[in-house]
A and B are shown apart, each in its own frame.
Chain A
Amino acid sequence: MKPTFISTNLTSLGTMAVRILFAAVAVFPIVFMLVSSLKPDQQIFGDMSSVAAFLPIGNISFDNYAAVFDRVPAARFLINSIGVSAVTVVLGIFVNSLCAFALSRMEVRGKRIVFSAILATLIVPFQTLALPLVWWVNQLPYFELDGFSLEFSKGWLDTYQVQIIPFIANAFSIYLYHQYFESIPKELDEAARIDGAGWFKIYRQVVMPLAGPATATVAILTFLPAWNSYLWPLMVVQSEELRPVMIGIQYFFQLNVSWGEVMAYASLITVPVVILFIAFQKSFINSIASSGVKG
């Protein structure tokens, strides 16, 4: 039976309706959050029973945002999270791509065993490591330059590096780079070697410039958990001036709760990630869909 013109059009109309329904479900809480962040509490509750809950109408202002900066050291938390995430992403890209380069493109003795051992770490959920890891980082030595003397202390708790260093090396990033490097012709390396290039130069000037999509994916997949991390800083960071954005949420439930302020803070720490994601969206979804996992 051949689909007629009208029935195909009806089907595609129906499909589009389902698409829009899913989109509405995916997006309504986020719209509600953004819109509520602009309203005083009374109006949030007043608008709840009508479509006004999703519309920036009525008494609209940035008062909640101003109040957020009064209640919480929000600027400090934002700077901490930006710093910790950025350093983790940059070091993660370097360390993981370097490792994947050697595993993929060099004849290194024993690389197969190393690669299997790296992939084996994927089956260990972070939650099972978290508690022994707290104990372990508390035993690690720590050096600090204090003026001209080298200060030695034990324990990494309550520092920046405890939020960064354990998350630099990542098996999934190594795997993604490895898959991507395999698709770059090896003849390029040989040509460069004939021209007298060393291995690091091949990595830096031949292979990495071609690995843009893999780098975009690794950057997003490293950035998201770093920015969103909650369990780990909850356990290892006590000082207010070292805390990341997610921990700031606790501040809103200590005294009288203002939901408008809560929504403003939630928007404040979500919008930068959404903007970043939309900027990288195309290369991210495409490279996951093509290089990440083949069916």
Chain B
Amino acid sequence: MTLSPLPTRPPQAVTEPAVASGPTRPRRSRPGFLREQISGWGMIAPAAALLLLFVFLPAIMGFGLAFTNARLISPRPVEFVGADNFARLFADPTFWRALLNVTYFAVIVVPVQSALALAMALLINKKFRGVNFFRTIYFLPVVTSMVVVSLLWMFMYRREGLINELLSTFSFGLIQGADWLNDPATAMPAIIALSIWQAAGFHMIIWLAGLQSVPGELYEAAQLDGASHWQQFRFVTWPGLKHTRSLVLVTITIQALGLFDQVSVMTQGGPLDSTTTIIYEAVRSGFKQQETSYASAISLVFFVLVLLVSAVQRYLTREKD
């Protein structure tokens, strides 16, 4: 948009008699219109330029780089190589293993974490003495960085670590703990448990927002009709959370598919690729091996996967009336 700072009409106004009868005509002649446009665009510009530079352009570039042989630092010029990167990716068993691992992770984390987060939100929804104390405690793991959490749980998951001691104490010595992170069978379940522990509090807040928006009169009416707690939840709360449900579902799924920090700190994808993930593979090739193009191809596949999964979820949770 070209806007002259002079107190005249914008240049395009000259060529605009055809649209002059449009609905925007009266606004145009309002005093201060031009000034409002200039100030407005000036205020939008910094954020818009930054998003353009650091979100839109890299997204487009990633798309383009995936079809080239670009490396992070390379004397050779970048060449177009067609779908070579994708052919290599789909022939790589590690990629399929990563896809399987991420699916396993998401299939457990999405329902369990949403349900626990909802339970937590219901526990602290109504005001009671100490409600703020519990809200803060439940949110505390979210404030703790995933890197610190991974480190801490790595320590707790050792063979003679805290988790095994707790399991043994609470089962009166019946359960002999595993060497959680060094066994291909238990490494992913161990990562799943700590991921739910860390992130449930965040989705609790989203559920809480939904719960607060259900009108209180509905509960009063239900109580007058003699509805039990369960019936109130089933027929008042649950329908009232329709939009929140799909929001929680989509955000947890995207977060689950993007699993990276925990794996990077705790297992580096091992043992035997049992915890490697799509993003971990992308970072491994893009950063450690500096193959920007191959990593971009993985990122692109990941993005398509995220889009597909959220589209399917949107379709399944669409309004059916």
Q: Which residues of chain A have a CB within 8 Å of any CB of chain B?
A: 1, 15, 18-19, 22-23, 25-27, 29-30, 32-33, 45, 48-49, 53, 95-96, 98-99, 101-103, 106-111, 114, 117-118, 121, 123-125, 127-136, 138, 165-169, 171, 174, 198-200, 203, 224, 227-228, 230-231, 234-235, 246, 249, 259, 262-263, 266, 269-270, 273-274, 277-278, 281-282, 285, 288-290, 292-295
Contact = CB atoms under 8 A, between A and B. Distances in A.
Given A127-B299, A165-B54, A266-B152, A27 B137 contact: yes
Chain A interface SS verdict (over half)? helix
B72 interface: yes
A131 B300 CA distance: 11
Given A48-B161, A95-B47, A295-B210, A129 B140 contact: no
B123 interface: yes
Interface string B295-310: 1100110110011001
Contacts, number: 278
Contact of B145 (A129, A263, A269): A269
A18 B124 CA distance: 11
Contacts of A288: 205-206, 209
Contact of B61 (A132, A174, A246): A132
Given A106-B40, A199-B36, A293-B206, A131 B213 contact: no
A287 B302 CA distance: 33
A96 B47 contact: yes
A27 B282 contact: no
Contacts of B65: 132, 135
Interface stretch (B92-100, B184-192, B258-266): B258-266
A32 B152 CA distance: 9
A276 B200 CA distance: 20
B132 to A, nearest CB: 7
A123 B258 CA distance: 13
B226 interface: yes
17 contacts: A26-B138, A48-B160, A48-B161, A107-B27, A127-B258, A128-B299, A131-B282, A132-B58, A135-B292, A165-B54, A169-B47, A169-B54, A230-B264, A235-B283, A269-B148, A289-B209, A295-B209
Given A33-B152, A125-B303, A266-B152, A169 B46 contact: yes
Contacts of B61: 132, 135-136
Interface residues of B, number: 98
Counting chain B CB atoms within 10 Å of each CB, which of A103, A230, A270, A293 scores highest?
A293
Given A22-B120, A98-B44, A128-B299, 6 more contacts: A27-B137, A49-B169, A127-B258, A127-B302, A131-B62, A135-B292
B134 interface: yes
Interface of B: 1, 27, 33, 35-37, 39-41, 43-44, 46-48, 50-51, 54-59, 61-62, 65, 70, 72-73, 119-120, 123-124, 132, 134-141, 143-149, 151-153, 155-156, 160-162, 165, 168-169, 197, 201, 205-206, 208-214, 226, 240-244, 247, 254, 258, 260-261, 264-265, 279, 282-283, 286-287, 292, 295-296, 299-300, 302-303, 306-307, 310
A53 B37 CA distance: 63
A275 B140 CA distance: 11
A30 B70 contact: no
Contact of B55 (A19, A102, A106, A129): A129
B27 A102 contact: no
Contacts of B286: 131, 134, 235
Q: Which 3 A-B pairs have the closest CB atoms?
A: A132-B62, A108-B40, A295-B210
A45 B160 contact: yes
Contacts of A15: 123
A103 B44 contact: yes
Contacts of A48: 160-162, 165
Contacts of A235: 283, 286-287
A203 B36 CA distance: 13
Contact of B299 (A22, A95, A132, A138): A132
